[in-house]
Structure 1
Amino acid sequence: MISISDLRDRPEFQPILADRIWRAWWQATGTPLEVVANAVADNLGPDLIPSAFIALDGGRFLGTASAIAADMDERPQYTPWVAAVWVEPEARSAGLGRALVRHAAEAIFRAGWRRAYLSAAPHRRSFYEGLGWTVLEEAIGEKRMTVLARDHYS
């Protein structure tokens, strides 16, 4: 049975979460894994943001999404963000990404925020629009990212 847990409740998954985030976004930049692991460790603190959520099938890691304060140096005016959305290849196309994004956004709303932000590569834009996120800006930074927003779920 698939469940979504706060990393605080399942800290033994911290190393695999750091590995997936590092491999997906940071390894190619030359950033050491330890830097990402330290950032992931911040999710174990008492504050609602940052928070990391993990999808599990029993004891098997399937994916993650986070709620963080800042995600784009180019857009410091936006906060907080859903970030680091990752689903293991064998678990994709089953609605897990949708569930993780919603879970992270709901955590932001429970923390008292009325709006959540998300940055996406251009080829992922339609996925997030399909989840009800609205494009605010396009072609931001070197990677030409899209910034999307979602207001509190009704």
Structure 2
Amino acid sequence: MDIEFLASATKYKEDVAQMVYEEFVLKIGGTKSLNDVVNYFSNTNVDQFPITLIALDDEKCVGTVSIFENDLKQRQNYKPWLASLYTLPAHRSKGVGSQLITEVLKVVKGLGYEEIYLKTENASDYYRNRGWVYVETLIDANDESIDVFKHNLN
């Protein structure tokens, strides 16, 4: 499996957009269109936010993760954020997510940050078991309880 920057492998932007649209827009009743999401992922970068990484298995995009400057309006002082981690169902439990997270940590550390944050509605145990530290629980704009975690990069 290879982990690449989407900015360097733009032919996968529609695949990434479809994953993110289905998992993070439709499931929460978001208002963005699939075309909006494709346009967003057409403008990701390698060394400034937003950054998106993809997991390729035999040249098929099987997972994605992004790094945003901020992913929670209530916590503007927390920067940067791991966001939109997703692995295709047929490729789960094969280490795809772990490899994507490992690469995110390297990228963020390489950009000079000492910590990274994430928010999750339903995967707290997954992150806790991978060394992320619980910070707090908040209620988001959709009245859902979300847990915030951070990971120290030192």
TM over 0.5: yes
Q: Distance in 1 between matches of 2:35 and 2:54?
A: 20
1:145 corresponds in structure 2 to 146
1:81 corresponds in structure 2 to 81
1:118 corresponds in structure 2 to 118
SS of alignment partner, residue 29 of structure 1: coil
Displacement after TM superposition at 1:26 (Å): 0.9
The answer to whether the 8 Å contact 2:4/2:54 transfers is: yes
Greater Cα shift, 20-29 or 110-119: 20-29
Displacement after TM superposition at 1:77 (Å): 1.4
Task: Give the share of equivalent positions with the same residue, in percent.
Answer: 24
2:11 corresponds in structure 1 to 12
The answer to whether the 8 Å contact 1:67/1:105 transfers is: no
The answer to whether the 8 Å contact 2:7/2:43 transfers is: no
CA distance 1:96–1:84, shift in 2 (3 Å): same
SS of alignment partner, residue 73 of structure 2: coil
Give 5+ residue unaligned stretches, structure 1. none
Q: Distance in 2 between matches of 1:126 and 1:52?
A: 24
The answer to whether the 8 Å contact 1:54/1:65 transfers is: yes
Q: Distance in 2 between matches of 1:66 and 1:103?
A: 11
Q: Distance in 2 between matches of 1:135 and 1:103?
A: 21
Code of the residue aligned with 2:12 in structure 1: it is: F
SS of alignment partner, residue 64 of structure 1: strand
Q: Distance in 2 between matches of 1:34 and 1:150?
A: 33
Q: Calculate the aligned-residue CA RMSD, in Å.
A: 1.4
Displacement after TM superposition at 1:34 (Å): 2.1
Code of the residue aligned with 2:23 in structure 1: it is: A
SS of alignment partner, residue 126 of structure 1: helix
2:58 corresponds in structure 1 to 58
SS of alignment partner, residue 113 of structure 2: coil
Q: State yes or no: 1:37 paired with 2:38.
A: yes
SS of alignment partner, residue 5 of structure 1: strand
Displacement after TM superposition at 1:85 (Å): 0.1
SS of alignment partner, residue 54 of structure 1: strand
Code of the residue aligned with 1:117 in structure 2: it is: Y
Displacement after TM superposition at 1:46 (Å): 5.7
Give 5+ residue unaligned stretches, structure 2. none
Q: State yes or no: 1:108 paired with 2:108.
A: yes
